[in-house]
Structure 1
Amino acid sequence: MKCLTVLLGLVYATFVNANPNLVIKHNKIDSPKEEYQFGLLKLALSYSDKKYQFDESNTYLTQQKLMSDLGSNNISVAWVGTSSEYEQTYQPIRVPLFKGLLGYRIFLIKPEAQESFNQINSAKDLSGLRAGQVRTWVDTQILQQANLPVVTSNKFSNLFYMLEGQRFDYFPRSVYSAYAEKQKYPELGLQVENSLILVYTLPGYFFVNKQNQALYQEISAGLNAAIDDGSFDQYMLNHPLIKDALELSNIQNRKVIRLDNPFLPPQTPINDKRLWFNLAQH
């Protein structure tokens, strides 16, 4: 048995070494959101006749480090919200991974602040309060161009403690992140604001290195096949991350504040109805 185990290990090592293009190096899966996107990657590649292997990074890479490693081929694929800079530097696969739900933002707040948010009906009303965001995120620019004050941090995790310490008034989070993050920091006593939703167009995509056109074609073909045969919607709407968020957030009954995203790349497939979540249908 021991000899067989060694032999199988050698066969696997030989396979990987002989087929480096079949090894997908990706970020560490450390949250339900990462697990969802990784599962979508595996769904896309399941349409290929190739047998891919997956190699997870040892530690979770920040977005800045992740994209730097994608450029140097230390990472094969990244999943992030898009920007013109990213689309110029890397190869985007323009199928929104959350069908646009990345741009549906509900707020983490301190419980005593809820009354203030009950009085808000527009972006102008919201401009009297301060949002918290990561400095480098495109969301920060979207909020600022809408004349919404933003307090920033270089480190994502700091923002929860800054909110608890009243450095700002609300932390806009995607509908599928807010409840999970509230539970992750129970000691801070935060709550999900219950009356508002910010909506702006911000797709999250898979990105690959521009030199890796073979992987681009494989992921693109797989995602579009999954969209067309219904597998994408089945995976997304039945995934606990999305299913629970849509039930808990009650987005149909929230007051919608829409913001423009002037940083949206012109190639964004905004007219392809297959690719976008429709609030009116849920």
Structure 2
Amino acid sequence: MLALLGWLGKACALDVYTIDMNSSKSSYAESHVLNLLHAALDASSARYGPYQLHVAQVRMERDRLLLEMLKGDMVNLSGQVTSIEWEQKLIPIRIPIDKGITCYRIGLIDGRNQAEFSAIRTLAQLKRVPLGSGRQWSSTMTYRQAGFNVVEGTVGMHSMLAAGRFRFFPRAIDEAFHERDASLAFFPTVAVESSLALYVPLPRYFFIGGGQQRLAQRLEYGLQRLIADGGYDRIFHAAYDELIEKAGLRKRRIFRIDNPLLSPQTPLSNKAYWYVP
């Protein structure tokens, strides 16, 4: 009897997802990512059966995370800004996790420089401002190819900003407020820039590792079910409407840059996938 129960337990745990902690760098992103993920997997249960979802209790730099994702043992699911390498080596689910809100970047700055940014009226002017970006980030090459003056870092980006190594640090709207609040005690001049935003076409997808096609098919099916019944939009608005208002995104001057590195398979024409201020 015990052997039978053990077998049944394994059968019920057919689909096991383990997401990395890096997918949730702020409380805003964490609640949204996990809420969307649970909802999508629940929506797929009638067709695919039960599942288990775990959060790997370790944070990894992006390069190491990719290696672990390829193995699929420690972690087999991640919500990340896309890149050609990740789309080629892993299984991308090309539905933006957050309706592309990540594509809108507002800046962390030294608050004493706000007047400088308020005076910027053209993309060419903004490109002359030294911009900070992480060495392993998908966005870094995009900024370089667009002609920005990019200063790369690995750790301590907020201390580099406070020290004047660069003057503009573009972040997704949830990251900007979370990081500003977290760094104020150490860097009291760091502020969220209030007048402009960058639109960088770099969607954030769920990626499946370890060649686990069934897990990818199931998650995409669940996401499509949510889109069809309106759940995708409801979860997005519950997570982001307050932040969008706080950021004043609709009132900002939005400068758009091209991304020649974006996959031709990016579903830019599917209006259901994207938020427009």
Both proteins in one fold, TM over 0.5:
yes
* Correspondences of 1:1-282 after superposition (within 5 Å): 17-18=10-11, 21-28=14-21, 31-32=26-27, 33-49=29-45, 50-74=49-73, 75-155=75-155, 158-187=156-185, 188-189=187-188, 190-209=190-209, 211-239=211-239, 242-279=240-277
Identity of aligned residues (%): 31
Give unmatched runs, 5+ long, in structure 1.
1-6
Report the Cα offset of residue 22 of structure 1. Answer: 2.2
Cα distance in structure 1, aligned partners of 2:121 and 2:56: 44
> Residue 93 of structure 1 contacts residue 205 of structure 1 at CA under 8 Å; is this kept in 2?
yes
Report the Cα offset of residue 243 of structure 1. Answer: 2.5
> Residue 18 of structure 2 contacts residue 77 of structure 2 at CA under 8 Å; is this kept in 1?
yes
Report the Cα offset of residue 47 of structure 1. Answer: 1.0
Cα distance in structure 2, aligned partners of 1:244 and 1:163: 27
> Residue 14 of structure 2 contacts residue 50 of structure 2 at CA under 8 Å; is this kept in 1?
no
User: Aligned Cα RMSD in Å?
Assistant: 1.9
Give unmatched runs, 5+ long, in structure 2.
none
TM-score by length of 2: 0.90
Which residue identity does 1:141 align to in structure 2?
Answer: M
Q: Compared with structure 1, are the counterparts of its residues 15 and 124 closer, same or farther at alpha carbon in structure 2 (3 Å cutoff)?
A: farther
Matched residue SS, 1:55: strand
- Write the deviation string for residues 40-75 of structure 1: whole angstroms up to 9, x where unpaired: 111110112222122221222222222211100121
Report the Cα offset of residue 35 of structure 1. Answer: 3.1
Cα distance in structure 2, aligned partners of 1:64 and 1:179: 26
Q: Compared with structure 1, are the counterparts of its residues 238 and 183 closer, same or farther at alpha carbon in structure 2 (3 Å cutoff)?
A: same
Report the Cα offset of residue 21 of structure 1. Answer: 3.8
> Residue 63 of structure 1 contacts residue 80 of structure 1 at CA under 8 Å; is this kept in 2?
no
> Residue 33 of structure 2 contacts residue 97 of structure 2 at CA under 8 Å; is this kept in 1?
yes
Q: Compared with structure 1, are the counterparts of its residues 264 and 30 closer, same or farther at alpha carbon in structure 2 (3 Å cutoff)?
A: closer
The number of residues matched between the two structures is 266
Which residue identity does 1:227 align to in structure 2?
Answer: I
Matched residue SS, 2:275: coil
Cα distance in structure 1, aligned partners of 2:61 and 2:36: 20
Large movers: runs of 4+ above 4 Å: 13-20
Which residue identity does 2:212 align to in structure 1?
Answer: N
> Residue 16 of structure 2 contacts residue 52 of structure 2 at CA under 8 Å; is this kept in 1?
yes
Cα distance in structure 2, aligned partners of 1:186 and 1:20: 44
Cα distance in structure 1, aligned partners of 2:233 and 2:177: 22
